[in-house]
Amino acid sequence: MARLIDLRMLVEACIDFPDEDIDFLEAADALGKLAHIKQLQQRLFVSAKQGSLLREGVHVVLVGQPNVGKSSLLNQLAGDEIAIVTPIAGTTRDTVREEIDIQGVPFHIIDTAGLRDTSCEVEQIGISRTWNAVEKASLVLLLLDAREGESEADRVILARLPTGLPVVKVFNKIDLLSAPTAESGQDVFVSAKTGAGMDGLRLRLLALAGWEQTGEGAFMARERHLRAMKSAREHIENAETNWRQLEFFAEELKLAQNSLSAITGEFCADDLLGEIFSRFCIGK
């Protein structure tokens, strides 16, 4: 297996002994080795992301106007009567959380108070809790009434959602439509009452969570592991683009190695890569 530390020693030797020049690095296939390390690191990153997903789960927040069926959708996803459902707009006040499992991936589904202008103090507190939940969301399902389509009130909600947060529009109550709607683009159509369209929604949630069946084990990474790996990847990429500037090349390799070492402390980065990949039986 190509090792980061060997490559670093190679580059540093080149700097220390000016007789050795870039040809020497080329002959030693430094770039080929770097590409191999990058590839291993990328595979490790994917496994780590999957592991992090299994450990932390995905926070999905249901938002929308009152009465569109958020609580019904939570109940349908959970397969149980978790949240109170009534035809009265403004039923949900507190956020209601339930952990569900889709193909082994945990999802924390958070039902919230419907969003509207209201003079009711209790409802106002509920609505501010909705926005607090949105801040912590990994993704948002914006529920809409399929009979109404997207209204001005929905557009106001959409505009208030943080930029960069993935949002899926879920048109609910399709059982009440006289004619079936043609599925369009990224939108999802369901009936929280009959369960129609729910399998499609579950698959969509898995895809948005970034779940990939790689066939390789998932490395139980934490958020800080992912950050360390991202930083290592950036340094490896910097090294690759600037490899002709040897000092820079060596420095970026060092930084990449430091980032990986941050995951385990006393353990050296190459040991970590070796350890993890030997478990996945990936050819060396």
Ligand X SMILES: Nc1nc2c(ncn2[C@@H]2O[C@H](COP(=O)(O)OP(=O)(O)OP(=O)(O)O)[C@@H](O)[C@H]2O)c(=O)[nH]1
Where do contacts with Mg ion occur on this chain (CB under 5 A)?
70-71, 91-92
Least CB distance to ligand X at residue 199 (A)? 15
Taking the least distance from each CB to ligand X, the nearer of 14 and 127 is 127
Helix (H, G, I), strand (E, B) or coil at 198: helix
Helix 269-280 crosses helix 246-264 at what angle (to 10 degrees)?
70
Q: Is 92 in the site for ligand X (CB under 6 A)?
A: yes
**Strands 139-145 vs 105-111: parallel, antiparallel or unpaired:** unpaired
Least CB distance to ligand X at residue 66 (A)? 4
At residue 225's C-alpha, the angle toward residues 50 and 204, to 5°, is 25
Helix (H, G, I), strand (E, B) or coil at 180: coil
Applying CB under 6 A, which part among 40-48, 168-176, 215-223, 230-238 lies near ligand X?
168-176
Taking the least distance from each CB to Mg ion, the nearer of 66 and 197 is 66
R_g (Cα) of the chain, nearest Å? 25
Q: Is 130 in the site for ligand X (CB under 6 A)?
A: no
CB atoms within 10 A of CB 81: 11
Strands of 105-111's sheet, edge to edge?
Answer: 96-102, 105-111, 58-64, 139-145, 167-172, 188-189
Intra-chain end-to-end CA distance of the chain, in Å: 5
Look at residue 202 and give the partner it binds from ligand X, Mg ion, none, a contact being a CB closer than 5 to 8 Å depending on partner kind.
Answer: none
**Amino acid letter, 70:** K
Q: Is 176 in the site for ligand X (CB under 6 A)?
A: yes
Give the torsion through C-alpha atoms of 90, 95, 204, 197, to 10 deg.
-40
Q: Is 193 in the site for ligand X (CB under 6 A)?
A: yes
Contacts of 137 (CB under 8 A, 6+ apart): 59, 60, 61, 110, 165
Taking the least distance from each CB to ligand X, the nearer of 50 and 91 is 91
Query: Which residue from 130, 191, 257, 261 is in contact with ligand X, where contact means CB under 6 A?
Result: 191
Look at residue 72 and give the partner it binds from Mg ion, ligand X, none, a contact being a CB closer than 5 to 8 Å depending on partner kind.
Answer: ligand X
Look at residue 193 and give the partner it binds from ligand X, Mg ion, none, a contact being a CB closer than 5 to 8 Å depending on partner kind.
Answer: ligand X
Q: Is 236 in the site for ligand X (CB under 6 A)?
A: no
Closest residue to ligand X, based on beta-carbon distance: 114
Q: Give contact residues for ligand X (rule: CB under 6 A).
A: 64, 66-72, 85-87, 89-92, 113-114, 172-173, 175-176, 191-193
